[in-house]
Amino acid sequence: MKSIKSTQYTEISTPVDFNYEECLVHLGRSSQENLYRIKEGKVIKLLKLNGELVLFQLTSVPGALRIEFPLNAPTPNETKQVVAYIEDWFDLTTDLQEFYEMAEAEPVLNPVVQQYYGLRVIGVPDLFEALVWAVMGQQINLTFAYTLKKRFVESYGDSVVYEGETYWTFPHPETIAALPLADLRALQLTGRKSEYILGIASIMAIGDLNKERLLQEPDMESKLLEIRGVGAWSANYVMMKCLHDASAFPLADVGLHNALKAQLNMERKPTIAEISELSANWSGWEAYATFYLWRSLL
């Protein structure tokens, strides 16, 4: 991606097939989301970069995403980090031509891919956030998962106020690692999930786990499965949403099952064996197939 900088803003060029409006549909799926806000097509988000809080707003212009900084002018390094974050968040560097060609020949995928063409896998660039979100979301509905995340963020994240609204960052592992178990339990997290999150925070705080090292692993899934509280679904969710593994496949995902049930006009959810057979030709693009099917539920 090329980055164009002026005195007022920075722009990131976007792929020809990029559909910002479709990406906004996914980003706007919960009214409880508190890590960014969407206002009249503009996404406003706060990041903590090298100890400094940086608020940016993102809008779509022809052929690009425009980044503006409404509070303070960022340093060149902060601008570079925000650009990298957005490229990661919207998966702007992945060439989807092969995925679209594959989907054309797949009866279950072709209708949703045509309908939502240009949608990107909206990621979770921060590994700690991705892991915590995966653990929080285990075996509960999405609405309650968002409630838990909102409490977690507003209890332990950093914040700034802009135009009367409070913007939050996701808590840092070091902050969470120092907490007693009872503090997380007080948010209505189960004892087990509280333990898992504290464990993840601890190994990340001491540097035993980080995104850069994971990306170098030949078998990322096995490394993730070594983390207490991370099972096959959570590992594949993190690989899909944070590590840009297009072959990640959360096979047991309830949303995936519901979407396939609807697309296939079935009276029951398909079995894991049926999904495995159905997805035989998705190899290398399972994450994108899953994400487009999730979109069909919104």
Q: Which residues are catalytic?
A: 253
| Residues 282, 289 contacting (CB under 8 angstroms) | yes
Q: What is the DSSP letter of 71?
A: S
Report the Cα 94 to chain-centroid distance in Å: 15
| Residues 49, 78 contacting (CB under 8 angstroms) | yes
Rg, the chain, Cα only: 19
User: Rounded CA gap, 121 and 292, in Å?
Assistant: 8
Task: Name the helix (H) or strand (E) containing 167.
Answer: strand 165-168
Put residue 63 in one of left, alpha, beta given phi > 0 → left and psi -120 to 50 → alpha: left
What is the number of other CB atoms lying within 10 angstroms of the CB of residue 59? 17
What's the length of the chain? 298
User: Rounded CA gap, 106 and 278, in Å?
Assistant: 9
Task: Please state, in angstroms and as integers, the Cα–Cα distance from residue 146 to each residue in 121, 137, 152, 203, following that order.
Answer: 19, 8, 10, 24
For 192-241, give the DSSP string: HHHHHHHHHHHHHHTTS--HHHHHH-S-HHHHHHTSTT--HHHHHHHHHH
Q: Cα torsion at 140, 146, 148, 152 (round to 10°)?
A: 150
User: Rounded CA gap, 193 and 135, in Å?
Assistant: 7
